[in-house]
């Protein structure tokens, strides 16, 4: 019991000393390239994987709260993003607009170091906020897994550079407006590769 009490005291001391220098909240701004997997079932004249949702560069803001020097939760946000949907041969099928917030739990390996790598796991909820696909439509919500790997590089004071890679599972049923029948399934499963700046409050 005594050893356990000593360990708790040491942990509390380390936590308070780390947070005395920097607060528990970090805000990051990133530019993120979204690379979609573009997997789809064959349907009509379209072969397997012929439907593509364009990859693009998007802005991202995230808020990380540190419960302990090593442990944080991160909320990842962006503005609604419009993507063009095409068939093989660059044939336009229309567009969709989506909002993909993510929440991850992160483990930081070297708190206080000049370079502090981290890993994260969590969940994604993608909301379709607008779509123009002619006689077709997507189901409006996709729930998926998020895996994350990144690092914060201390620049000085409370300012950090950040690199971050996420993998998100994401898929939608494509249905016909006429009778709500399922036409195909599109799996996006994007990689999100980002770089940016963070500030620890």
Total structural domains within the chain? 1
C-alpha distance from residue 125 to each of 67, 68, 90, 175 (Å)? 24, 26, 29, 20
* pLDDT for residue 172: 95
Q: Would residue 17 count as lying in a domain?
A: no
Q: pTM for the complete prediction?
A: 0.86
Is 111 domain-assigned?
yes
Confirm whether 189 is domain-assigned.
Answer: yes
CATH number, domain at 26?
2.40.160.20
| pLDDT of residue 75 exceeding 80 | yes
Q: With respect to residue 97, please indicate whether it lies within any of the assigned structural domains.
A: yes
Q: What is the pLDDT of residues 157-194, one digit of tens each?
A: 999 999 999 999 999 999 999 999 999 999 999 999 99
7 occurs within a structural domain: no
Give the Cα separation of 51 and 42 in Å (integer). 9
pLDDT at 5 (0 to 100): 41
- 12 belongs to a structural domain: no
pLDDT at 45: 82
| Mean of all residue pLDDT scores within the chain | 90
Domain containing 40 equals 22-200
* Three-state secondary structure of 101-145: CEEEEEEECCCCCCEEEEEEEEEEEEEEEEEEECCEEECCEEEEE
């Amino acid at each position: 019991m005594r050893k356990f009490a000593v360990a708790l005291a040491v942990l509390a001391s380390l936590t308070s000393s780390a947070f005395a220098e920097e607060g528990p909240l970090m805000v990051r701004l990133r530019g993120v390239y979204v690379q979609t997997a573009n997997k789809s079932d064959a349907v009509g004249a379209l072969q397997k994987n012929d439907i593509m949702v364009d990859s693009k560069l998007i802005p991202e803001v995230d808020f990380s709260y540190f419960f302990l020097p090593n442990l944080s939760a991160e909320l990842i946000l962006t503005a609604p993003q419009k993507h063009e949907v095409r068939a093989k041969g660059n044939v336009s099928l229309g567009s969709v607009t989506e909002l993909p917030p993510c929440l991850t739990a992160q483990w930081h390996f070297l708190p206080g170091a000049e370079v502090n790598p981290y890993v994260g796991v969590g969940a994604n909820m993608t909301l379709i906020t607008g779509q123009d696909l002619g006689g077709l439509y997507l189901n409006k919500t996709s729930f998926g897994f998020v895996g994350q790997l990144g690092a914060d590089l201390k620049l000085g004071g409370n300012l950090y550079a950040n690199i971050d890679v996420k993998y998100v599972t994401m898929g939608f049923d494509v249905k016909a407006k006429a009778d709500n029948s399922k036409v195909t399934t599109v799996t996006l499963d994007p990689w999100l590769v980002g770089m940016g700046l963070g500030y620890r409050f």
